[in-house]
Amino acid sequence: MSLKQLIETGKFIVTAEVAPIKGTDTTELLEVAELLRGKIDAANVTDQQSSMMRLGSMVTSHLLKEKGLEPVFQMTCRDRNRIALQSDLLSASVLGIENVLALTGDVPSLGDHPQAKPVFDLDSVQLLWVISRLNAGYDMVGNELKGKTNFFPGAAVNPGADTEASFEMQIIKMEKKINNGARFFQTQAIYDVNLFAKFMKRVERFKVPVLAGVIPLKSAGMAKFMNKNVAGILVPDELIKKMTTAEDKTQTGIQIAADLIKNLKDICQGVHIMAIGWEKKVPQILAAAGL
Amino acid sequence: MKTITETKPLAEIMKLLEKHKRIHLIGCGTCATTCHTGGKAEVLAMKEQLKAAGKEVTGWMVVPTTCDPLTKYALKEESEAVAAADAILVMTCGFGVQTVAAYSDKPVYPGLDTMFIGWEQSPGRFIEICIQCGQCVLGLTTGICPVTRCAKGMLCGPCGGAREGKCEQQPEHDCVWVLIYERLKKLGMLDKLTDFVPPKDYSRMKIPRTAEVALP
Ligand code: SF4
Ligand code: SF4
């Protein structure tokens, strides 16, 4: 079943992130696909994540699809102007890719090619608008397409914005994304379920499915690093303590993620697991969460 | 408002001047002087560095405003020293360098990197607040430019990455969308944030841009 159909059934959705490799050896990527097939509802394929040059997200999405894993093609506005974005959307459509996650993307200076010229011809909201146009059979300037796309567009939201201004604008922007075609949301990693529940209350009226981000902790150091460096992520002290004192850190990290998923189950429509190197452990996390 | 410049690394300047022995130096009395990159002091320091590297400096001058057409007359007055040189090193913004090139048959090289048109945020600290995009959207925000001051030039609101009001992508800067929110809130105009902003017309930035201005 497609992600759209699955979401429509009201089932608790599980998506997981798969990062394209740096290079052309797809062996491990295909192993991950094999392992995840049947265990998750869709796999998000990142687009030059953190501005690191890698294999393309469209080709990787296509490979996953061939392996029987439903892809969510992530698309950022960092590297392509509006001509290339639209063209890639047409190409993805021809390859049978249905789900697109529209993102603005990070600036190149954060990645491994900091000298690159950033594009940002469009932003995420405008990209969603463009996808809706293509779905309606027109390009963004109104030319009719011979054959239209049939995308199921999604978007990102950060429920952990730390100031009133940032938080309120996330909600305003979420609504703009919905008005421009976003049909589901995936969030930044959630560690504080109560705080997230408050966010979900605020956005309840939108009636759009939200998949809560889950990043399994690998160490206390990783948690501290994210607290310091990643906006919207706040790992509570209690979890950091758990990781510090854990004898088997891997098992503890998996258990924490599983517990989070269990708690999130009653609050939102699904989870989005960003395993960052632990892709092969996703089935274990899901089993521990009883999914 | 002024054109902000930075001095090029000396090694790069030496590479540019590799094939030339006799050099004439030109600075600018306006922006490059206030940036301490092309005023009298910097021109004289460059003269010493060139001499130390075995070059001969045939002369130097600091033109009052090098981007002005009057530079033509400054070059005329200095013609003897310029004629004696194999090349001119111009320590001004790109505008000044090209003005000198327009009025001189000598090879002209830039001694500075031209950065941006800067606004003095606090004494001595300049920030870029307008990239002259040709389709001003300040009406959306009532006076703060996201095209220039958001790291991603986002028109439809922030990325959600700000931490304590600072930009996720460039933490030395405020998240401009937080500034915009606070301004609109103060003005009771937060409803402006809900509008969809269509993609910008970047053809307005198609270079080189020209304008016909009526003469008096
Ligand atoms: S939108 Fe910004 S960059 Fe464009 S003209 Fe206005 S102030 Fe300048
Ligand atoms: S943090 Fe603010 S200024 Fe920085 S990229 Fe995001 S929206 Fe733009």
Provide the residue ranges of all domains of chain A, joining segments of one domain with +.
Answer: 3-288
**Are A129 and B198 within 8 A, CB to CB?**
yes
Paired residues of B75 in beta bridges: none
pLDDT of B161 above 90? no
| Candidate of B116, B127, B142, B147 to mutate for ligand 1, largest count of ligand atoms within 8 Å of Cβ | B147
* CA torsion through residues A60, A61, A65, A71, sign: positive
Q: What is the mean pLDDT of each successive set of 10 residues along chain A, which is 291 residues long?
A: 95 97 96 96 96 97 97 98 98 98 94 96 98 98 98 96 91 97 97 95 97 97 92 90 95 97 97 96 97 91
Pairwise CA distance, residues A80 & A93, whole Å = 17
* Contacts with B151 from chain A: Cβ below 8 Å: 107
Instruction: From chain A, pick out residues whose CB is under 8 angstroms from the CB of B198.
Output: 126, 129
How high is the pLDDT of residue A230?
A: 83
Which amino acid belongs to residue B26? I
Give Cα separations from B192 to A173, A287, B138, B144, B174 (angstroms).
Answer: 12, 47, 12, 13, 21
Which tokens go with B102? Answer: 């327009």
Facing residue for B178 by CB, picked from A122, A166, A173: A166
Question: A157 and B181: CB-CB below 8 Å?
Answer: no
Three-class SS state of B158: coil
Tell whether A37 lies on the interface with B, counting CB pairs under 8 A: no
Q: State the nearest Cα–Cα gap between B115 and chain A, in angstroms.
A: 15
How many whole angstroms separate alpha carbon B93 and alpha carbon B107? Answer: 17
Q: Quick one: tokens of B151?
A: 């790291």
Q: Could you give the 3-state DSSP secondary structure of residue A74?
A: strand
Distance CA A51, CA A106 (A): 6
What confidence score (pLDDT) does residue A229 get?
84
Cross-chain residue pair A166–B197, CB shorter than 8 Å: no
**Encoded amino acid at A133, one letter:** R
Is any Cβ of chain A less than 8 angstroms from the Cβ of B201?
no
Segment B160-187 mean pLDDT: 93
* Cβ distance of A122 and B199 shorter than 8 Å: yes
Beta strands in A119-168 (DSSP E): 152-157
Percent of chain B with pLDDT over 70: 100
Q: Give the CA count within 13 Å in the CB-facing half-sphere of A60.
A: 31
Instruction: Return left, alpha or beta for A36; rule: phi > 0 is left, psi -120 to 50 is alpha, else beta.
Output: alpha
Ligand at shortest distance from the CA of B150: 2
Q: Which atom of ligand 1 is found nearest the CA of B129?
A: 7
Give the mean pLDDT of B94-118.
97
Burial class (CB in 10 A: 0-12, 13-18, 19+), B182: middle
Banded pLDDT at B13 (limits 50, 70, 90): very high
Determine the average pLDDT of the residues in B156-170.
Answer: 91
The ipTM (two decimal places) reads 0.93
Burial label for B128, CB within 10 Å (0-12, 13-18, 19+), is middle
| pLDDT beyond 90 at B212 | yes
Q: Domains of chain B (ranges plus CATH)?
A: 2-115 (3.40.50.2300), 133-194 (no CATH)
Measure the CA–CA gap between B62 and B91, rounded to whole angstroms: 9
> Are the Cβ atoms of A109 and B169 closer than 8 angstroms?
yes
Q: What class, spelled out in words, does domain A3-288 have in CATH?
A: alpha beta
Please report, as a single letter, which amino acid is at residue B6.
Answer: E
pLDDT of residue B216: 85
Residue position matching structure tokens 């006076």: B143
Ligand 1 pocket: which of B117, B131, B177 to mutate (most atoms within 8 A of CB): B131
Is pLDDT at B52 greater than 90 in this prediction? Answer: yes
Residues in chain A: 291
pLDDT at B93: 97
Measured CA to CA in angstroms, residue A160 lies from A168, A191, A239, B171 at distances of 11, 10, 17, 18
Instruction: Say whether residue B203 is in contact with chain A using an 8 A CB cutoff.
Output: no
Determine how many CB atoms are found less than 10 A away from the CB of residue A205.
8
Q: CB under 6 Å to ligand 2: residues? A: B 150-152, 154, 158-159, 161-162, 167-169, 175-177
Mean pLDDT of chain B: 96
Q: Please, which residues 91-130 of chain A have a Cβ atom closer than 8 Å to chain B?
A: 104-107, 109-110, 118, 120-126, 129
Alpha carbon of B187: minimum distance to chain A alpha carbons (Å): 14
Write out residues with Cβ below 6 Å of ligand 1: B 130-133, 136-138, 145, 147-148
- Please, which pLDDT band fits residue B177 given cuts at 50, 70 and 90? very high
Say if residue A238 is exposed, middle or buried (CB neighbours under 10 Å; 0-12, 13-18, 19+).
exposed
pTM for this prediction: 0.95
A110–B169 C-beta distance less than 8 A? yes
Longest Cα pair distance anywhere in chain A, in angstroms? 62
Q: Does residue B153 register a pLDDT over 90? A: yes
Measured in Å, residue B132 CA sits from the centre of ligand 1 at: 5
Closest CA to A213 of A172, A174, A260, A251: A260
Q: How distant is the Cα of B201 from the closest Cα of chain A, in angstroms?
A: 9
> Is B155 close to A123, i.e. CB distance below 8 A?
yes
C-alpha to C-alpha distances, A244 to A147, A240, A252, A261, nearest whole angstrom: 56, 6, 10, 21
If you search the block for the tokens 């700000």, which residue do you land on? Answer: B162
Q: Does B194 touch chain A (CB under 8 A)?
A: yes
Phi then psi dihedrals of residue A138, to 5 deg: -135, 150
Q: Per-residue confidence at B160, pLDDT binned at 50, 70, 90?
A: confident
Nearest to B3 by CA among B134, B109, B96, B139: B96
Shortest-distance Cα residue to atom 1 of ligand 1: B136
Residues of A in contact with B177 (CB under 8 A): 165, 169
Is pLDDT of B28 > 80? Answer: yes
Residue B137 has pLDDT above 80, yes or no: yes
Angle at A180 between CA A178 and CA A182, to 5 degrees: 45
Please choose, from the candidates B115, B70, B109, B64, the residue with its C-alpha nearest in 3D space to the C-alpha of residue B89: B109
B4 CB-near residues (< 8 Å, 6+ apart): B31, B35, B114, B115, B116, B117, B118, B126, B128
Asked if residue B193 lies in contact with residue A172, where contact means CB atoms within 8 angstroms, the answer is yes
**C-alpha closest to that of A40 among A225, A261, A267:** A261
User: Does residue B1 carry a pLDDT above 80?
Assistant: no
Total residue length of chain B: 216
Name beta bridge partners: B183. Answer: none
Residue B41's pLDDT is: 98
